[in-house]
Each structure stands twice: as structure tokens, then as C-alpha cells.
Amino acid sequence: MNHTPGELELIERMPNLRPQAWLAASAVWIVQWLHEADPATGRTEDRQTGVELHQWMEAKRPNWAHIVICRSKADTIAAIERATFVATERKLKLILHIEAHGCETGIEGTDGKGGVEQIEWAELRASFARLNAATKLNLLIFMASCTGFAGIGALVEFGRAPALALVGSDGVILDKQLLEGVKEFYRRFLTGDSTLHEIASEASQQAGATIWFEPEVFPTLARESLIDAIMERGRKGRLMQRDAEVRQAVWDQMMMIDLFPENGERFSLDVHGIVSRAVSFYGLTKRSHGAE
């Protein structure tokens, strides 16, 4: 949605989220889905970056990370579902770390038979949302793959939030660069003295590539999307004050405030205030245009 100068000024005055340190993680769940060697086609085995990362983490913080080696699409989805079960049983705040090949449409890995399988980003959304609910909206997803940030597209939908935040590279990246960047990310994360954007920036510099690790915090993204939806309705002359109740319910469902009332302290947003300002703005604009 392209905004006019007046709309941009309005957005600046809209109610915002309460600033706070949202990120915390009691465990890392590494899902490695990489290609195996295939003598028939001459394919060589991928570098086992997930295994290397897990070994490095064990030396830094024993028992913080768990790894699952996947050999098919079904294995990969099952590994995420298993993480959901474990997070629920142990009340964990997880980082879901996925090591796979990536592209604009999704991730791919071995099918266990010498071939390749792909999971589209949209297919992952429901699994992410269930895992995020198990963590009470504390899930950080690290897409350790080429073009991993493209997965953000799977988050931009209304419904249960599929993650608290996502981090991924914005283009093609070599396994060595990726691993070095990932290690720096977790090194900085463990110190606990930086924001997600600062940590991602340091990881990018450590990777030593032109590729950047992009972070996105879902509540911020969701607020922007909600405002866009409200303003789009206002442009069409369909926005009314009674829309506030519906939009507030949508927000509370996304942030799981209806499931976990304590999330109201973390993710409260004055949707009624946003709607009221939009109603007033577009009402004045409509009258102004009518006067011309």
C-alpha cells in the first residue's frame, strides 16, 4: 500500500507497541535437512553445518541445543511437530534453527532416495504457529539457508502468530559464510546484551559476505499490516468505529492474548485508538474533497 504524505503523518501518530525486551530462549532446536551423497548422480554430501553448529554449541553451553537429522520432507515437518510437543511438555521458549537449502518459494533437502523434496513457505506456517503457541509466543525462527528471509512471507497473514521473530539471509550464501555468521549470532545472543537487530548485524559482518542476515519481529510486522488493512478500508469509505471491536479481536488472537492473558502486558495495542484516528482522518478527507 503506497501512502500519501498525510497518511504517513497519520501513521506516525498511531498508537504503538510497548517497547521491551521480548526475546528469550531456554533451548535451541536444530533441524538439519541437507542433501546426502548419491553415487548414481554424482551428488556429493552437503557439509553437515547443523551438526557442526550443535557441536560448537555444546562446547559453549552444554545441553542448550538439540539436533534432529532429517532425511525427507516428512522427517522435517515431524521434527518441528516434535519440537512443539517438547516445548509444551517442558514449557520451553525455543529457537527453531533450520539448516536446509532455500529459495524464494521455500526450503529443500534430500528425499532419502537420492532425490530432492521441497517444502513451500506456506506449508510451514501452520507448524510454526503451533510451535509458537507451545512457547506462548516466544518462538524465534532462524532460517539457516539461502534466501532464508523469504520465509517472512509465511508470517504475513492474520491468524495465530507463527513466530515472535524470524532471522534469515537475504540471498545466496556459502556454507562457510553461513556457519560463521550463525556462530556469531548465537555467541552474541548468549551474552544477552544486544537487540535482535544488533545481533543480526554482527552476524552479518562475521559472515564476511555481501549477504545480510535480516531480522523481523512479528508483532511489529503485524501492527504495520493491521494499520494497512484499516487504512485501506478507510480509503474505500468503508471504515466505521464499530470495526474497532473486530480488529481488536483479530489482534488479540494473533498475539495469543485470548490464550495467554499475560501476553496482554507484552503485546497490548490500542486498536480502538488506531481505528478512531483513521475514521477521523478519512472522514475529514472525504468532507474536504466533497467541499471542492
Q: Please count the structural domains in the chain.
A: 2
> Looking at the structure, do residues 77 and 106 belong to the same domain, yes or no?
yes
Using pLDDT thresholds of 50, 70 and 90, give the confidence band for residue 148.
confident
Query: Is residue 9, in this structure, part of any structural domain at all?
Result: no
> Looking at the structure, do residues 47 and 131 belong to the same domain, yes or no?
yes
Mean pLDDT of the chain: 89
How far apart are alpha carbons 206 and 168 in whole angstroms?
15
> Looking at the structure, do residues 84 and 210 belong to the same domain, yes or no?
yes
* Predicted pLDDT at 288: 41
Closest CA to 66 of 25, 36, 96, 105: 96
> Looking at the structure, do residues 189 and 241 belong to the same domain, yes or no?
no
Distance of CA 147 to the CA centre of its chain: 14
Using pLDDT thresholds of 50, 70 and 90, give the confidence band for residue 83.
very high
Quick: pLDDT tens for 188-198: 999 887 889 99
> Looking at the structure, do residues 227 and 120 belong to the same domain, yes or no?
no
- For residue 277, give its domain range: 220-291
> Looking at the structure, do residues 200 and 241 belong to the same domain, yes or no?
no
Closest CA to 164 of 115, 118, 96: 96
* Predicted pLDDT at 42: 63
Query: Is residue 136, in this structure, part of any structural domain at all?
Result: yes
Query: Is residue 14, in this structure, part of any structural domain at all?
Result: no
Helix, strand, coil shares of the chain as percentages rounded to 5?
Answer: 50, 15, 35
> Looking at the structure, do residues 264 and 205 belong to the same domain, yes or no?
no
User: How big is the CA angle at 214 (ends 154 and 64), to the nearest 5 degrees?
Assistant: 85
For the residues 273-292, what does the mean pLDDT come to? Answer: 72
> Looking at the structure, do residues 54 and 160 belong to the same domain, yes or no?
yes
* Predicted pLDDT at 170: 84
> Looking at the structure, do residues 150 and 183 belong to the same domain, yes or no?
yes
Q: What are phi and psi of 249, to 5 degrees?
A: -65, -40
Torsion of CA 110, 96, 217, 238, to 10 degrees: 70
The yes-or-no verdict on residue 285 having pLDDT over 60 is: no
Using pLDDT thresholds of 50, 70 and 90, give the confidence band for residue 271.
very high
Closest CA to 86 of 127, 27, 144: 27
> Looking at the structure, do residues 266 and 134 belong to the same domain, yes or no?
no
> Looking at the structure, do residues 129 and 151 belong to the same domain, yes or no?
yes
Query: Is residue 11, in this structure, part of any structural domain at all?
Result: no
> Looking at the structure, do residues 90 and 206 belong to the same domain, yes or no?
yes
Quick: pLDDT tens for 156-186: 666 889 999 999 988 888 888 899 999 999 9
